[in-house]
Amino acid sequence: MIVVEGLHKHFGGARAVDGASLAIRQGSITGLIGPNGAGKTTLFNVIAGEHAPTSGRVLLGGDDITGLAPHELFERGLLRTFQIAHEFGSMSVRENLMMVPGGQSGERLLGALFSRRRIAREERDLRVRADEVLAFLTIDHLADERAGNLSGGQKKLLELGRTMMVDARIVFLDEVGAGVNRTLLNTIGDAILRLNRERGYTFVVIEHDMDFIARLCDPVICMAEGRVLAEGTLDEIKANEQVIEAYLGTGLKNRPRAASAVPPYGDVAASAAVTGDPVVRGPIMLSGARVRAAPDAGTGLADA
């Protein structure tokens, strides 16, 4: 459904994306993993029209969509979730959802002049739809809560809810689990699975939590240094020599234990998750906060 061909995005001398090629299958939940600085967020930003690529192409259903603006991609059902903007924090959760669909009559002058009734009806429909979305996500009890008061995980659910207010075909989620507790992360995972199975959503998910990836994603694509290293099931990825080296920054060939190597990204937990090393694999692994605590100059929007 989405094909990325030889994509480059350079920032001055920094090659954030350096010749990435990949395909996202319709109806899949594709995982995108890789060490910090691998170029995952930049790849999202280019696909989603936030950045023009330096070179390369992005195709959606065979159409060249390279460099289209986010609103044009939105019209084609391609959606990237955004953090709830500051100014919407004082609005209720329900209002945040009702804001999403574009083109309501009430926003157009002619509509305002000629059909108050139609506007009232649309608002009512929107409200019904918003409440359905909240029920689906099991946060209907939060409908009247100020969005700014939500926990990190609840905000992620609301972001997912915003994609449900439009007929999204493909949704990009960047580090949905960062700073989210396990229970809410499971709820988010449930919602993603149900949206995929019951409504045919395609997802591309960047996440450091390998349990989350294991539960949801097939295939998994691993990036490092701006390129795609490997694609396959998570087990295949974990066994891939290049992937292990990318996470560790040093070959494993002569090393009996992954934990003995020092990863360049300052994150033993991330390495352990990929290698499956039982010594360091434990409750410490891969919380987004831990991974993000590593030095990372990444300035992806969703990380901001």
Ligand X SMILES: Nc1ncnc2c1ncn2[C@@H]1O[C@H](COP(=O)(O)OP(=O)(O)O)[C@@H](O)[C@H]1O
Task: Please give the size of the binding site for ligand X, defined by CB under 6 A.
Answer: 16
| Binder among 2, 33, 39, 133 for ligand X (CB under 6 A) | 39
Cβ-based nearer residue to ligand X, 165 or 291: 291
Cβ-based nearer residue to Mg ion, 136 or 212: 212
Concatenated DSSP letters of 3-70: EEEEEEEEETTEEEEEEEEEEE-TT-EEEEE-STTSSHHHHHHHHTTSS--SEEEEEETTEE-TT--H
In the DSSP assignment, the letter for residue 167 is T
Q: Residue 213, Cβ neighbours under 10 Å: how many?
A: 23
Write out the two tokens for 262: 């020092």
Q: For the CB of residue 17, give the shortest distance to Mg ion in the complex, in Å.
A: 12
| Binder among 30, 36, 187, 202 for ligand X (CB under 6 A) | 36
What is d(CA 20, CA 254) in angstroms, rounded to the nearest whole number? 30
Q: For the CB of residue 42, give the shortest distance to Mg ion in the complex, in Å.
A: 8
Asked if 81 interacts with ligand X (CB under 6 A), we say no
Asked if 31 interacts with ligand X (CB under 6 A), we say no
**Cβ atoms of residues 149 and 98 within 8 Å:** no
Applying CB under 6 A, the span of 9-17, 61-69, 106-114, 123-131 interacting with ligand X comes to 9-17
Q: For the CB of residue 139, give the shortest distance to Mg ion in the complex, in Å.
A: 26
| Binder among 38, 220, 221, 222 for ligand X (CB under 6 A) | 38
Asked if 34 interacts with ligand X (CB under 6 A), we say yes
Asked if 151 interacts with ligand X (CB under 6 A), we say no
Cβ-based nearer residue to ligand X, 42 or 163: 42
Q: For the CB of residue 182, give the shortest distance to ligand X in the complex, in Å.
A: 23
Asked if 229 interacts with ligand X (CB under 6 A), we say no
Q: For the CB of residue 89, give the shortest distance to ligand X in the complex, in Å.
A: 25
What 68-73 contacts at long range (C-beta under 8 Å, 24+ apart), as own/partner pairs, is 71/102, 73/48, 73/49
The burial class, CB within 10 Å (0-12 / 13-18 / 19+), for 200 is: exposed
Q: For the CB of residue 288, give the shortest distance to ligand X in the complex, in Å.
A: 11
Q: What ranges make up the beta strands (E) of the chain?
A: 2-11, 14-24, 29-33, 55-60, 63-64, 78-80, 170-174, 202-206, 220-224, 227-232
Using CB under 6 A, list all residues that contact ligand X.
11, 14, 16, 34, 36-42, 296-300
